[in-house]
Amino acid sequence: MRSRHPLEHVVFEDENSLRRYTKGINLWMRRLAKSFAAIISKWGMTGGRALDLGSGSGILAVELARAFPEFDFVGLDLSEAAVAVARVQAVERSPATRVWFERGDACAMPFDDDSFDLVVSSNTLHLLSDPVRMFDEVQRVLDPSGRFIISDFRRSWWGSVTPHIRAAYTTREIEQLLRQSKLNNWAVQDGLLWLTVLSKA
């Protein structure tokens, strides 16, 4: 297993830094939302209650809410600045009544058991010191018939380009962590720069 990296536990503490970061990844996040939407549609899901873990500036939750009018989204992030920026995104780009953001820890979620029909997450796993706890929490808050999509960078030689890839896990490491967790019915898919943990079809 990889050693701890300085990027772990990164939390945006000021809105200006977060807005600059968001501007840089805006297009990529919208493309990611489309790929998530394609998977959700393939599963035949059209509505329910959904959770975005590590929601950051809120792009993923907002775009998915726009794609699925029958879903209500909750975004959870450890950063107060991120929650503030995400709430603005929700007002500007989607029906704010269907998307809500709050501060909280993905490894100790403030939600009841079986609360959500869908859980999504992007670019959060590599920031956690204990992803197993997040996987356990996903299993806890997910309805027994619910689904999940968790995407993150995959560590590779591309780490010379960005510290986020250097801080990420390999596919094998993620599979080891998943086996230690309570999360059920998972599969791992590889991409060029990222990996995706999702419910088996």
CATH code of the domain in which 55 resides: 3.40.50.150
Among the ranges given (40-44, 143-147, 154-158, 169-173), the one the predictor scored with the smallest mean pLDDT: 154-158
Predicted pLDDT at 154: 79
Whole-number average pLDDT of the chain: 85
Predicted pLDDT at 159: 45
21 within a domain of the structure (yes/no): no
59 within a domain of the structure (yes/no): yes
16 within a domain of the structure (yes/no): no
pLDDT (average), residues 148-163: 71
Number of domains in the chain: 1
150 within a domain of the structure (yes/no): yes
92 within a domain of the structure (yes/no): yes
47 within a domain of the structure (yes/no): yes
Q: What is the domain range of residue 158?
A: 28-199
Burial of 22 (0-12, 13-18, 19+ CB in 10 A): buried
Q: Identify whether the C-beta of residue 13 lies closer than 8 Å to the C-beta of residue 47.
A: no
Whole-angstrom distance, CA of residue 156 vs CA of residue 186 = 22
pLDDT at residue 50 is higher than 90: yes
101 within a domain of the structure (yes/no): yes
pLDDT confidence bin for 11, thresholds 50/70/90: low
Sheet with 142-153, strands from edge to edge, namely 99-103, 70-77, 47-53, 116-122, 142-153, 194-199, 186-190
Predicted pLDDT at 151: 94
Predicted pLDDT at 2: 47
Q: Identify whether the C-beta of residue 151 lies closer than 8 Å to the C-beta of residue 82.
A: no
66 within a domain of the structure (yes/no): yes
